Structure 1
Amino acid sequence: MKELLCVTGLTGSGKSVASDFFVDKGYQYVRFGQIVLDEVKKRNLEPIEANERPIREEFRKKYGMAAMAILNLPKFKKLLEVGDVLGDGLYSFEEYKILKEEFGKQFITVAVYAPPELRYERLAKRKLTSEDTELRNRPSTKEAAESRDYAELENLNKGATIAMSDYTVLNTKDLDFFKKQLNEIFQEIQKNK
């Protein structure tokens, strides 16, 4: 059975590293929020949280709280025809419910957790490179990241998505520790196929 594995977590928790791990294992990649960044670029805006949030909210006003899942459904379905799919950045609980309803047992979620101060420290150290055309690793100030945390938890119901995840990974130590946990999850998923 082909599966849609979605990664969730707050900004700076390690979602991109987790996503890359599964892509390296053969999953096809879809980033939920790429739709927002594409719109930011289309409007010739700087890719910063202050410009991204209004667009995210605009999409959600038009399509509801499940906007990112709804907008990515055609892509997920097409890719699932040929193999497993990794969805990077599942946000709202409404998105979770849409995908659970649409894909049932094919839908698996992994929550990545790191405490706020550690995430903010990581985000401040990030450097944007020319190779990062999808802006997956853009830096953020502590203030912007904290503001985004509150917006995601209060306005997007992201806490419920994290709480309902099938697996939770702690990203509080080094990369080897993190990847070891991800590999254990991968092995369990493969065993249950």
Structure 2
Amino acid sequence: MIITFSGLCGVGKTDVIRSVSKLMPARSLSLGDAIRSEIQSRGWEASPAVERQVQIELREKYGQAAAAIALKPSIIDALGSCDLLLIDSVCSPLELDQISGLGGRSYAFSIHTHRHLRLERLANRNGRSMSAEDVMLRDNLELSELGKGITLGRADYQFTNNSDLPSIVRAVSEQIAALKLV
């Protein structure tokens, strides 16, 4: 079973996936790894502006499903060795379609959070903090150019992360357990 996670930056997707992976046997991959790998291969230092630039360039060159296509071999490999694959940072509807087309059961989860909480989390994030302006620019890119709003709207299950991490991890884990029974 594949579960994709979408949400704007700072909603807690990665933290939820890490925590759920500790509670149940699951593997995880991040489409953001394709962007970070490209930045590293160019020898550039990562920053919100560089991530934005590379994200646009990859999609202009390879299409809106570029990140999913880049990680397709890793996704197929993971599916061969686990029953549950959690995929972080699905942005465009075409990425969602690319992943869903790999076979097996696939569900899309979206996570939402109040803007002021996102800004606070991102300002304090270790290693990859973002200013309010960086957040606005990234949101605008993802919502207006990359189709993330459509991806969020297509989610099979939606979660709100305005409380503590254990609360949303419990809600997501319970939903996954229910889907495993279907």
TM-score in terms of structure 1 length: 0.88
Where 1:91 maps in the other structure, the secondary structure is coil
Q: 1:179 aligns with which of 161, 164, 169?
A: 169
After superposing on structure 2, the runs of 4+ consecutive aligned residues of structure 1 that deviate more than 3 Å are none
Q: 1:13 aligns with which of 11, 14, 17?
A: 11
Give, in angstroms, the shift of residue 101 of structure 1: 2.9
| Structure 1 segment 1-193 matched on structure 2, within 5 A | 3-24=1-22, 25-83=24-82, 84-103=84-103, 105-128=104-127, 138-192=128-182
Is the CA contact (8 Å cut-off) linking 1:7 and 1:18 kept in structure 2? no
Deviation string 1:132-181 (CA, Å, 9 cap, x unpaired) is xxxxxx21111101110011000000011111111111000122322221
Q: CA RMSD in A?
A: 1.4
The range that moved more, 147-156 or 28-37, is: 28-37
CA distance in 1: counterparts of 2:43 and 2:72, whole angstroms: 26
Structure 2: 5+ residue stretches without partners: none
Is the CA contact (8 Å cut-off) linking 1:8 and 1:88 kept in structure 2? yes
What amino acid is the match of 1:126?
Answer: R
CA distance in 2: counterparts of 1:79 and 1:175, whole angstroms: 26
Deviation string 1:14-34 (CA, Å, 9 cap, x unpaired) is 101121133222111211111
CA distance in 1: counterparts of 2:110 and 2:158, whole angstroms: 5
TM-score in terms of structure 2 length: 0.93
Q: How many residue pairs get matched?
A: 180
Where 1:86 maps in the other structure, the secondary structure is strand
Structure 1: 5+ residue stretches without partners: 129-137
CA distance in 2: counterparts of 1:93 and 1:55, whole angstroms: 19
